[in-house]
Structure 1
Amino acid sequence: MTQAKRGITAEDLYQMRYASDPQLSPDGKTLAYVENQIDESHAYQNHLYLRKLDVDDPLPLTSGSRDTYPRWSPDGSKISFVSNRSGKPQIWLIDANGGEARQLTRCKNGVSNPTWSPDGKYIVFSSILDEGETFADLEAAEEKEKAKAIHVGRMKYKSDDLGFIYEKNKQLAIVHVETGEVTPLSDGPYNHTIGSWSPDGKWLAVTANRSEDPDFQHGIDVFIIPSEGGEWKKLTNSKGIFAYPTWSPDGKKLAYIGSESDTHLYAAQKRIWVYDFEKSDYSCITANWDVQVGDSTIGDMRSPGHPNPGAVWTADGRGMYFIASERGNSGIYHVTLDGQVTTVVTGNRNIYGFSLHENEQTVVAAISDPSTPGDLYQVSLKDGEEKRLTALNEELFAGMELPVPEEIEFVAKDGWKLHGWMLKPVGFEKGKKYPMVLQIHGGPHSLYGNTFFHEFQLLAAKGYAVLYTNPRGSFGYGEHFVQACCGDYGGNDYRDLMTAVQFACDHFDFVDEDRLGVAGGSYGGFMTNWIVGKTNRFKAGVTDRSICNWVSFYGVSDIGYFFTAEEIQANPFTNPEKMWQHSPIRLVENIETPLLIMHGEHDYRCPIEQAEQLYVTLKHQGKAPVSFVRFPGASHELSRSGDPEQRVLRLQYTTDWFDSYLVAHQKEKVE
């Protein structure tokens, strides 16, 4: 008799692993990559591995606590990586054949994005410096006495990524690989991000907002700067956000990814641009391809911001390879300089990183799908043949049932075509009725897709059908679609979600219409708050990291004052009424749905005062059951890269809440 497989649990998070940041050696024969996991003490671990592509067994390269960002030296003899083994993240070097690693930098605030020069003599990196601080202050200073008062001089003084930054900025420097001597490249009240070296090593392409007042001008420009110091040259016009500049092999062109818009920062679709140094001009080569460049897929196993290869040039300089997101999938594509786009590696899955070696005609892609948190695959550019290189959760998942979502398509009342997925419960039995949870993604400019989602699989294991969809405002369906929610939060986006619920109830006979739940985080939390204020159709709601009041959000979020200008198209001075009309807190008197509110205390994107307002108002109004869970020390990234034990607790609170109102109440009704 075959033993029934179990569903996934919240605690299985501690056992799951995924691979990331594949990097092929200069000769294309060996792969370096990162294996990510949680150790026995429930702390994150990242280890580097090497694998010969013609050998099946990988070899561990490091065993430090958090080793990331492996990068080959140009001659393939060394690998640089970022490690916190000495405290702060620093650059370390290790021989490609193994051995002891050598620490290269000692910046007191750590470093990021180390990038080798073409001759292998230098590495450029970025580090956060305080006002008046220099790279001469390399050694970590003793802990200073806590300040009695801090004078804030700018509006962008905090960040959900970095906490309270006050007058700190990300600056660039070059370190000599042999001597460790550091030469600064940037200064001033600006944040800088590394792009790439020119092929001759004389120039660096970087991105930064070096406008007169970065508090009011939010564009991020592309610059080239002499690697030995000198005058900077700005290539863009401060009308958009650009990133990942990469040089053509002959050094005559520079590609970068971004958007050029006077009105949209978040809702502008990313495209590929090319600057021609001979013509001193740039153009968008994907202008006629209405697809989001980059991976915009939301999941809960990998934090946002994993390394993006940008646009990877072909050896002849006539085109480039890149990742793009379309209809719930992200794949690898190729574009020529005249804008002809072809598919390289796609499918119903989420490609979140890749490394390519054109001479070897091979690409190694980091791929997730609804049953795979993240593994590496080798793909031939000649015939598309794939070889799986890792199967990190094979043993763990062998005894589990992981349902595969069913793709659905439906039409909004105004005729817009919509897209989503239905995940059936574990142990599904035909003819039986199941409670259903509608999940709403954050952003709103992101997308649900064919990637692994622990929370969805957990709900399915608990006996829930899970409906998730991409309402207007999501990436993956063209620029008009992604901008359609701006100024209309709680309008047609709300109606899209309710249309999805009705479609599911009409087309899936296993959905119990009397046992519906709704959940979401960030924008999804906003929409959960909005939904329970507009309808009593749902028997329970879980709102995570949410927004309830746009008027106060304007002044407390790290992005509030400029995010509301674009997304709500209002501010507290000229049209506060519009901000209030889009605020779920004004609908509290209508709420009868039992609501669980969860929030991180160090969330600076959607600060916890949003949750506090909602909770106190609901309690003061004597409304339907409400519970408030606070997570000390947690940022906006709680559910993806937050403390593992807090992530597990959050999942347990979620399923317990739905069990109380969608399962327990049903049992009482039957009895």
Structure 2
Amino acid sequence: MRKTFISISLLFSILVMGGGLTQESYWDIQSVSNPLISPDGTYVIFTKKFIDKKNDKRITEHWIMNKDGSNKRFFVEGSNLKWSPGSKKIAYVKEDENDTSQIYVKNLINESESKITNFGHNVKDFSWSPNEEFFSFSAFQEYEDNWIIDIPGKVDGEEYEWTEEPTVVTTMHWRADRIGELESGENHLFLVDSSGGAAIKVSDWGLDYIDDLHWLNNSQILFTGNNSLDDLQTPWKQTSVFLLNVQNKKLEKISDQKGVFMKPKASIDGKKIAFIGHPSKDYSSVAHDVYVHDISSGKNKQSTKNISSSPKNLFWLPGNQLVFDLDARGSSKVMKLDIDNLNLTEVISDFTDQFFLSSVHKDSLYGTHATPNRPGEIASIMNSRLTRLTEFNELILGEYNLGKTHEVNYQAPDGTPIQGWYITPPDFDENKTYPLILIIHGGPHAMYRPAFNYSWHQFASDGYVVLFTNPRGSTGYGTEFANVIDNDYPGAGDLSDLLAGVDYITDKGIIDTSRMYVQGCSGGGVLTAWVVGHDDRFAAAASLCPVTNWISMVGTTDIPAWTFEWFDKPFWEDPSNWLDRSPIMRTGFINTPTLFMTGVLDIRTPMPQTEEMYVALKEAGVDTALIRMNEEWHGTSSKPSNWFRTYGYLTEWYERYKK
């Protein structure tokens, strides 16, 4: 026994004393998420992803384990897994022999599989009725296209190799990143017997199902939908909460008539419905509050106020309590709300890691836990104590000595408090100086957090100090902080926040100021181009998937209504603000060598945005390069091989330049 203990201790020492992270181990990292505890509290199903190196893709599997993390094993392939109310079966969606997504059910005891639906269109979302007799599900229904040109000279019975019919576009939002062209129509709701058979339609035209489908009781379903269908408005600002009786098809909007509401969740006793929302649509970013709908009175009560960000997942606990996770100052915290006295408390006090809640059983909470030095693993919280249930990456990451993550808090020139972090190299020596990379987040309404990021730790292992901050406009610090950049992005405020962070870290005397670099993707790409258009301190920059020209952006992106909202007036009435906030208009002020990198399929910040500024810098005589990443939509690293290419291009670009 003593020999075994010594051997294990020696192995642990060898692992911990390893060198810095290497790129090659990225192939081996696995990710786990979305643990769902069974209704009887016995088993947990979860999602596990890994890289298929040969075929350059990420594989998704669903595994099952005991509630304490023991007996982990593969269970099924598919998507959107859901437990039966009796905990004996699991339903999921996967493609059938006709490549159409259908509902399947797998028995937990004998692991037999049954196909439930034989629907003509892809099943998207679904929910099991409390008595297990029915499934409600959503499927897309296409509008009729009545604008078709009849071509003369066509003879019946003859086959012609004519060009495919064109796409006729009459809507503003007719495409989506990672999908391409969208069909025009609505998502409707259907009902099918849980044993199979024909499905019937229970919702009608004029209501587009969005998300959050589940049953209030055996006759009513609850969901987020859109019955405004205003194509000229931002789609995600048109959501409301609905209750639909599947027997008489009576539809009721239970959220307020004005505002934005979503994510309903029925209480355990079925007497209340919690959801989140905001009473106005006039915002760029807002922290949605929790509302509780009393079914007997029909009244809604706002139950939170001035919280840091929008709650993500609502769950009811016994005793009129809600739990949910939300972002707050760089962490994903779990909060408990007593809906009687509206007392809001942290489940784990002073929690600074990340816990992404995904299911509950009585007072036990299940989710994904991530730290600065480890990616997310399945974990539970019981009695305010967190326990990790998986460690899929511990063996591989235990081989390396990783850099340390440090929190910083500083003030912008106007006194605005800013939070950030920096990662030092594994062999950091405070008496030496190191090159710096400032990484800027996208969104722009998003939040950087001190959670494990392979690229950032790889930069640190390669000798860089990595700085990442949350400038004004970030979420997690309340509505006012996030919304302050409305009609002011990019601007002087977020620019000063970022540069003040660089000043703060350089004042520590640990940075080689001749080797400082800046990068970001999407909204971070915007601000990277904005930074070098206003400041020359960086030796080189990399702007990934940026917006560089707001006027040309609005007509080519998949989010046009949202883009129009950033400006007080449309550009044809007054183009001045559109031009003033376009990084391309700062070309004449740029001296910093700037690399551009964008996915060729990107229609969020389309490739022409990158190409326009690349050509402008070329003409202006600034060192630049354009990387067109194949098979990438928005972002540059969805394909595993492109992660290596992205990292390689960035580091080789930085190594070329020194002030």
Question: Could you say what secondary structure the match of 1:556 adopts?
Answer: coil
Change (3 A) 1:228 1:150: same
The Cα of 1:88 is off from its aligned counterpart by 5.0
Amino acid at match of 2:41: G
CA contact (8 A) 1:21 1:69 kept: no
Moved more, 232-241 or 365-374: 232-241
Q: Cα gap change, 1:2/1:205 in structure 2, threshold over 3 Å: closer, same or farther?
A: closer
**Other structure's SS at 1:61 match:** strand
> Do the aligned partners of residues 406 and 556 (structure 1) sit closer, same or farther apart at CA in structure 2, a change above 3 Å counting?
same
Aligned to 1:372, which of 371, 374, 385?
Answer: 374
Partners of 2:329 and 2:162 lie apart in 1 by 52
What corresponds to 2:537 in structure 1? Answer: 537
AA aligned opposite 2:484: A
Which residue number in structure 1 is paired with residue 153 of structure 2? none
* Residue of structure 2 equivalent to 1:81: 92
* In structure 1, C-alpha distance between the alignment counterparts of 2:630 and 2:569, rounded to whole Å: 32
Q: Find the counterpart in structure 2 of residue 53 from structure 1.
A: 67
Amino acid at match of 1:496: D
Which whole-Å CA distance do the structure 2 matches of 1:82 and 1:589 have between them?
Answer: 53
Q: Conserved in 1, the CA contact under 8 Å of 2:521 and 2:635?
A: no
Q: Tell me which residue corresponds to 2:38.
A: 25
Letter in 2 for 1:49: W
1:277 is aligned to 2:295: yes
Give yes or no for contact 2:404–2:426 (8 Å, CA) kept in 1.
no
Judging changes above 3 Å, is the alpha-carbon distance between structure 1 residues 99 and 29 closer, same or farther for their aligned structure 2 residues?
closer
Opposite residue 281 of structure 1, the aligned amino acid is K
1:314 Cα deviation after fit: 2.0
Relative to structure 1, the CA distance from residue 239 to residue 162 in structure 2 (aligned partners, 3 Å threshold; closer, same or farther) is farther
* 1:279/1:560 CA distance change after superposition, 3 Å: same
Q: Within 2, Cα distance between the matches of 1:604 and 1:109? A: 26
Q: Do the aligned residues in 2 keep the contact of 1:356 with 1:364 (CA within 8 Å)?
A: yes
Match of 2:347 in 1: 344
Task: State which of 132, 139, 145 in structure 2 corresponds to 1:127.
Answer: 139
Count of equivalent residues: 624
- Letter aligned with residue 545 of structure 2: R
Alpha-carbon distance in structure 2 between the residues aligned to 1:155 and 1:421: 40
Q: Which residue does 1:580 correspond to in 2?
A: 579
Residue of structure 2 in register with 1:92 after alignment: 104
Secondary structure of 2:537's partner?
coil
Question: Is 1:110 paired with 2:127?
Answer: no
The answer to whether the 8 A contact 1:152-1:166 is kept is no
Give the one of 629, 639, 642 matched to 1:643: 639
Equivalent position of 2:260 in the other structure? 241
Tell whether the 8 Å contact from 1:517 to 1:539 is kept in structure 2 after alignment: yes
Q: 1:103 to 1:596 in 2, by over 3 A?
A: farther
- Aligned pairs for 1:141-156 (under 5 A) are 147-156=164-173
Q: After the TM superposition, which of the residue ranges 498-507 and 556-565 deviates more from structure 2?
A: 556-565
Which residue identity lines up with residue 39 of structure 1 in the other structure? D
Give the AA of the match of 2:633.
S
- Partners of 1:36 and 1:45 within 8 A in 2: yes
Does the 8 Å CA contact 1:271/1:284 hold for their aligned counterparts?
Answer: yes
Mapping of 1:128-527 within 5 angstroms? Answer: 128-132=140-144, 147-188=164-205, 191-211=208-228, 213-216=230-233, 218-237=237-256, 239-264=258-283, 266-287=284-305, 289-294=306-311, 310-316=313-319, 318-337=320-339, 338-345=341-348, 347-358=351-362, 361-381=363-383, 384-489=384-489, 490-507=491-508, 509-527=509-527
- Asked if the contact 1:294–1:323 (Cα under 8 Å) also holds between the matched residues in 2, the reply is yes
Cα distance, 1:173 vs structure 2: 2.2
In 1, are the aligned partners of 2:422 and 2:468 still within 8 Å (CA)?
yes
SS at match of 2:611: helix
Q: SS at 2:242's partner residue? A: strand
The answer as to whether partners of 1:198 and 1:251 remain within 8 angstroms in 2 is no
Q: How far apart in 2 are the matches of 1:431 and 1:109?
A: 64
User: Which whole-Å deviations, capped at 9, do the CAs of 1:280-319 have from their partners, x for residues lacking one?
Assistant: 22132112x4221335xxxxxxxxxxxxxx3111234x22
Quickly say closer, same or farther: Cα 1:71–1:473, change in 2 above 3 A.
same
Aligned partners of 2:542, 2:646: CA distance in 1, in Å? 11
CA distance in 2, matches of 1:580, 1:181: 56
What letter is aligned with 2:505? A
Offset at residue 145 of structure 1 (A): 9.0
Larger radius of gyration: 2
Deviation of 1:190 (Å) = 5.2
The equivalences for 1:35-46 within 5 A come to 35-41=48-54, 42-46=56-60
Kindly state the Cα deviation for residue 132 of structure 1 after the two structures are TM-superposed.
4.1
> What amino acid is aligned across from residue 222 of structure 1 in structure 2?
V
Go from structure 1 to structure 2 and tell me whether the alpha carbon gap of 1:145 and 1:126 turns closer, same or farther (over 3 Å shift): farther
Deviation at 1:554, TM superposition (A): 1.8
Letter in 1 for 2:124: S
How far off is 1:468 after superposition?
Answer: 0.4
SS in 2 for 1:415: coil
Residues 363 and 412 (structure 1), Cα distance of their counterparts in 2 relative to 1, 3 Å cut? same
Q: Residue 93 of structure 2 aligns to a residue in which SS?
A: strand
Distance 1:106 1:274, change over 3 A: same
Change in Cα spacing, 1:199 to 1:166, as seen in structure 2 (3 Å) is closer
Report the counterpart of residue 305 of structure 1 in structure 2: none
Structure 2 CA distance, aligned partners of 1:263 and 1:465? 40
Q: Is contact 2:597-2:636 (8 Å) kept?
A: no
Conserved in 2, the CA contact under 8 Å of 1:293 and 1:322? no
Deviation at 1:19, TM superposition (A): 1.3
Q: Which amino acid aligns with 1:325?
A: D
Check conservation: 2:126, 2:213, Cα contact below 8 A. Answer: no
2:311 is aligned with what amino acid? G
Q: Which amino acid is the alignment partner of residue 501 of structure 1?
A: V
* AA matched with 2:226: N
Cα distance, 1:345 vs structure 2 = 3.6
Q: Which deviations, in whole Å up to 9, do the C-alpha atoms of 1:319-339 show, x marking residues without a partner?
A: 211111100001111112242
**Partner Cα distance (2:542, 2:241) in 1:** 41
CA shift at 1:462, angstroms? 1.7
What are the equivalent positions in structure 2 for 1:608-627 lying under 5 Å apart? 608-621=607-620, 623-627=621-625
Unaligned residue ranges in structure 1 (runs of 5+): 134-143, 296-309, 667-671
How far the C-alpha of 1:563 sits from its partner, in A, is: 2.9
Question: Distance in 2 between the 1:368 and 1:145 partners?
Answer: 55
Query: What root-mean-square deviation, in Å, do the aligned CA atoms of Structure 1 and Structure 2 show?
Result: 2.3
| 8 A Cα contact 1:570 1:579, kept in partner | no
Residue by residue, what CA displacement relative to the aligned partner does 1:123-176 show, whole Å, maximum 9, x if unpaired? 22223332249xxxxxxxxxx997331111111111124321041433322332
DSSP 3-state at the match of 1:634: coil
TM-score (norm 2): 0.90
1:603 and 1:617, CA in 2 relative to 1: closer, same or farther beyond 3 A?
A: same
Scaled by the length of structure 1, the TM-score of the pair is 0.88
Shift of 1:590: 1.3
Instruction: Output the amino acid matched with 1:114.
Output: F
